[in-house]
Amino acid sequence: MPNVACAMLDKHKPVLLQESIEALDIQDGEIFLDGTLGGGGHSEEVLRRFPTTRIIGLDRDPEAVKRVREKLNIEIRVENFRHLDKVLEELEVRKVDAILLDLGLSSDQLETSGRGFSFLRDEPLDMRMSNEGIKAKDLLNSWDQHAIELVLHGFGEERDSRKIAEEIVRRRGIKPFETTFELVEAVLKVKPRSFRDKIHPATKTFQALRIAVNEELTNLEIGLEKGFKALDANGRFVVISFHSLEDRIVKNFFRDKVGLGLAKRVTSLYSARGNKPITASMEEIDENPRSRSAKLRVIEKI
Ligand SMILES: C[S@@+](CC[C@H](N)C(=O)[O-])C[C@H]1O[C@@H](n2cnc3c(N)ncnc32)[C@H](O)[C@@H]1O
């Protein structure tokens, strides 16, 4: 059980928990790979319901791993799920029975990591989930204007990508970017807040930068391929995504595997309206607004 200090820090609420458990469909003694441990919420529930499961948990964020190690007695590695094959080889695990990728950020990363993921807090502009790769501020201070525009457009679907990139380059000529609020100011110069805004004007810029810094879409493509390879026959692959770029990759990957006859859709779980992903109930959204954009997809390997 988590101790009190740990429980206070342990703020991340697992999204689509009941639906994930159903989709993972773990049986006694199976091997489950949790590729995105986060706060350990999904793994904890698997362990609670199916105590004989062998759980292998990965997270690229050493701080997340440290916290989960304190509360769960499972096999844990600090690793990017794009290297899951390496981890399984080291553990001498040939095949796994179920995989979960619950993508994106945990609430702990967003709210308390101090790494500049949120435009609501003035923090150093780092945005790395792990300690590797380029920091967001270094990307903004060194990439050329066109490359920044491509990031904002490609990973944020930001309509004002050209103007924002121009403003970023103008400002960094005066003073290099250091903090989140400096970036928010640059975006607001181009897109001032309006009462008509449904989302904060900096939302897409922050999403785009985070995806670029962490190479999230490439990791997902590689993780899906390697994960599917590592699954045993009848193994279940469950992915929860939080924005359309991720969901498109998952949808197409799963559709291709089904189309090739290598996997089947788990029809009992999908809505009667066809190939729609599973989404959160109104009750869950009320309780945990983060679940609003979550989409769960699952396939079973043949
Ligand atoms: C939404 S949280 C997972 C929450 C978890 N399912 C729970 O219920 O507590 C996503 C986690 O995935 C991690 N992550 C994102 N991309 C990753 C990758 N490519 N490899 C490993 N971990 C990754 C993040 O560091 C974060 O801790």
Q: What is the 3-state secondary structure (H, E, C) of 72-121?
A: CCCEEEECCHHHHHHHHHHCCCCCEEEEEEECCCCHHHHHHCCCCCCCCC
Q: Could you tell me whether strands 231-241 and 31-34 are parallel, antiparallel, or unpaired per DSSP bridges?
A: unpaired
* Residues 6+ positions from 230 with CB-CB distance below 8 Å: 33, 84, 85, 88, 95, 96, 99
Is the CB of 246 inside a 6 Å radius of any atom of ligand 1?
no
The answer to whether the beta carbons of residues 128 and 139 sit under 8 Å apart is no
Q: Is 104 in the pocket of ligand 1 (CB under 6 A)?
A: yes
Write out pLDDT tens, residues 163-218: 999 999 999 999 999 999 999 999 999 999 998 888 999 999 999 999 999 999 99
| Tokens coding 229 | 């390879």
Structure tokens, 169: 């380059």
pTM: 0.94
Q: Considering only CA atoms, which of 10, 97, 102, 3 is closest in space to residue 50?
A: 97
- Determine whether domain 4-108+216-301 maps to CATH 3.40.50.150: yes
- Nearest-atom index, ligand 1, CA of 100: 6
User: For 69, phi and psi rounded to 5 degrees?
Assistant: -55, -35
Hey, what's the torsion of the CAs at 189, 194, 198, 204, to 10 degrees?
-10
C-alpha to C-alpha distance for 60 and 53, rounded to whole angstroms: 22
In the chain, CATH 1.10.150.170 covers 115-214
What would the pLDDT profile of 81-140 be if each residue is shown by its tens digit?
A: 999 999 999 999 999 999 999 998 999 999 999 999 999 999 999 999 998 999 999 999
User: Is 60's C-beta closer than 6 angstroms to any atom of ligand 1?
Assistant: yes
Q: Which of 36, 58, 69, 103 to mutate to test the pocket of ligand 1 (most atoms within 8 A of CB)?
A: 36
Select 115-214's CATH number: 2.60.120.10, 3.40.1410.10, 2.130.10.10, 1.10.150.170.
Answer: 1.10.150.170
The answer, yes or no, to whether any atom of ligand 1 lies below 6 A from the CB of 14, is: yes
Residue of 13, 33, 37, 210 to test ligand 1 pocket, by largest number of atoms within 8 Å of CB: 37
- For 111-167, the DSSP string reads HHS-SS--TTS--BS---SSS-S--HHHHHHHS-HHHHHHHHHHHH--TTHHHHHHH
Q: What is the pLDDT of residue 9?
A: 42
Pinpoint the residues of the chain covered by CATH 3.40.50.150.
4-108+216-301
Mutation test of ligand 1: which of 46, 78, 101, 129 has the most ligand atoms closer than 8 Å to its C-beta?
A: 129
Give the residue whose CA is nearest to atom 12 of ligand 1. Answer: 36
Cα separations (Å) of 289 from 12, 40, 204, 268, 294? 12, 19, 18, 26, 10
**Is the pLDDT confidence value at 11 over 80?**
no
Residue nearest to atom 25 of ligand 1 (CA): 61
- Any ligand 1 atom below 6 A from CB of 102: yes
